[in-house]
Amino acid sequence: MENKSKVLVWDLPTRVFHWVLVISFLTAYFTSEGEHLRSIHVLAGYNVALMIIFRLIWGLVGTRYARFTQFIRSPLAAIRYFKAIKNGDPEHHVGHNPAGALAILALLAFGIATPLTGWLTFSDTMDAGEIHELLGNAFMGLVVIHVIAVVLSSVLHKENLARAMVTGKKEGASTEGIRSARPLVGALLLALVVGFVYSGYGGAKSLLAQQPMFAPLFQDNRLEAGDDYSSADSSEPAKQLVLASAGETKHHDDGDEDEHRENEHHDKESGEKD
């Protein structure tokens, strides 16, 4: 029997997908209440949809353990897996175990339906707000169950599954590991996410700038003499400060001009005396 060791199981694109989805969903969920965080909620929701689209594609063309054909099994396989746990002899799987596979399929389904109903509501295509909220809460419930299952599986198998999704490595035979982490695809995916978030940052930035807590982070030096101070986002103290500064500058310039004229007059009188 071949000795077990740490082998590469999760490629970089799969890991990037996993953690970006976690951050995006939690951001969307905790910014769902109130109009003042709507732009951030929508941006995070679109990012969830982007990750799901990528995962569906990567499930067809990705590395060994990322492909759907490797981990999608019948419900009977999940039942056998739970029976083995009950009997104190849990099955070890290098990739996703049967229960985890069902959880992933459910997460993908909610990852499609939740952003879709959000888009339908946000675009005024149809009023799906209540359905969107219901799906979001169910999605969060599924995430909680998934986290609990990961913790239990880590204890049962004496293997840190969360860390494996960071390092990409799990216990297995040398022949069971994948050849490459696909770093180029992972880097491109991360660049796509950064670009997508940055492109939508304008709306989120303007929204955050309206909050007293975050307003100082978004102050800039665009206020100059002659700007339109009637705009709603210009505070009265800022207007007075800039106008006062502009007045002092003008007064200083006028003083310099008077001094220059006086010097010219003095030079002219000296020339006539000579």
The structure tokens listed for 255 are 């003083």
The confidence score (pLDDT) of residue 211 equals 60
Helix (H) or strand (E) holding 170: strand 169-172
What's the fold here for domain 5-217? Fumarate Reductase Cytochrome B subunit (1.20.950)
pLDDT band for position 176 (cuts 50, 70, 90): very high
pTM of the model: 0.72
With both helix axes pointing from N to C terminus, report the angle between 183-199 and 12-30 in degrees, rounded to the nearest 10. 20
More confident residue, 269 or 239: 269
Could you read off the pLDDT of 181-239 as tens digits, one per residue? 999 999 999 999 998 888 776 655 565 566 665 555 555 443 333 444 344 444 444 44
pLDDT at 222: 39
Q: How many CB atoms lie within 10 A of CB 198?
A: 9
**The predicted structure's pLDDT at residue 226:** 41
Q: Domain-by-domain residue ranges, the chain?
A: 5-217, 220-274
Phi-psi map region of 6: left, alpha, beta (phi>0 left; psi -120 to 50 alpha): beta
The C-alpha atoms of residue 175 and residue 181 are separated, in whole angstroms, by 15
Per-residue pLDDT reduced to its tens digit, 13-44? 999 999 999 999 999 999 998 778 888 999 99
Measured distance CA(181)–CA(184) in Å, rounded: 9
DSSP summary character for residue 241: H
Which amino acid is present at 155?
A: V
- Please choose, from the candidates 116, 110, 148, 122, the residue with its C-alpha nearest in 3D space to the C-alpha of residue 21: 110
